[in-house]
Amino acid sequence: MMKHIVLAAALCGIFSKAAIADDRYATRPPVVLSPDLTAPWINQLGGKVRPVVYQRPVIQRQQRGLFQRRVLRQAPQAAPQTVSAIRPGIPAIRNPIEPQFLPQMVDYDTKEKPGTIVIDTNNRFLYLVMEGGKARRYGVGVGKPGFEWAGVHKITRKTEWPDWTPPSEMISREAAKGHYLPARMDGGPENPLGARAMYLGSTLYRIHGTNAPWSIGSAVSSGCIRLRNEDVVDLYDRVNVGTRVIVM
């Protein structure tokens, strides 16, 4: 009889330990999902509006490995920044773009005078006309479908680290999509206008920098012409108020 009691107690102990072990996994920790952020400068967490920079998917290669691993998606986060080699104090985003969109000297046959800016929106290039049939070419981001435009203007104002005041039409348009823009944003690395801005005529259009360098070579803006911060600083120092700008 005593043997049966001891055996039953031992079996109960075993089963109770198993139940306790299972209970460790009975309540799973909550899964936190990132929100769907479709505006490149908006991060709506905790009711706060904070500009963010999206990174392109990248391919990482093991140093000793025999395979490649593709990172399909990364959570939206600010890209690592370093000090630009072009201008000390200008943050440079380590984010590769297509080689053809990097600044370079090219042959350029035009009747426009040296110093003129010509923007080819179809091919996403900005040309600064130089002497001797040459031009300095930069990659740009241009207006998205429905926001394309063409015309001839002059640079009427130049600003370093410009503030950003979204037009009321943009605020309403984005609010209808669930994206709430700030009424005003101080200049800085997270500002969508980037490091420099050159205002065109009396329009709302500008040639400016960006906090989203991955967008260079794409049609994503509301009509403005954007360059990498490093490139817009370089262009800014080469042109003056009154420079003729041709957008085609």
Domains, the chain, with CATH or none:
87-247 (2.40.440.10)
Which sequence positions are flagged as catalytic? 208, 224
**pTM, to two decimals:** 0.62
Residue among 105, 99, 51 at smallest CA distance from 78? 51
The pLDDT of residue 84: 42
CA distance 105 to 115: 14
Left (φ > 0), alpha (ψ -120 to 50) or beta: where does 173 sit? Answer: alpha
C-beta atoms surrounding 16 within 10 Å: 10
Left (φ > 0), alpha (ψ -120 to 50) or beta: where does 223 sit? Answer: left
Residue-wise pLDDT tens for the chain (248 aa)?
554 544 455 445 544 444 444 444 445 445 444 444 444 443 333 444 444 444 444 434 333 333 333 322 333 333 333 334 344 455 444 456 899 999 999 999 999 999 999 999 999 999 999 999 999 999 999 999 999 999 999 999 999 999 988 777 787 887 887 877 777 788 899 899 999 999 999 998 999 999 999 999 999 998 999 999 999 999 999 999 999 999 99
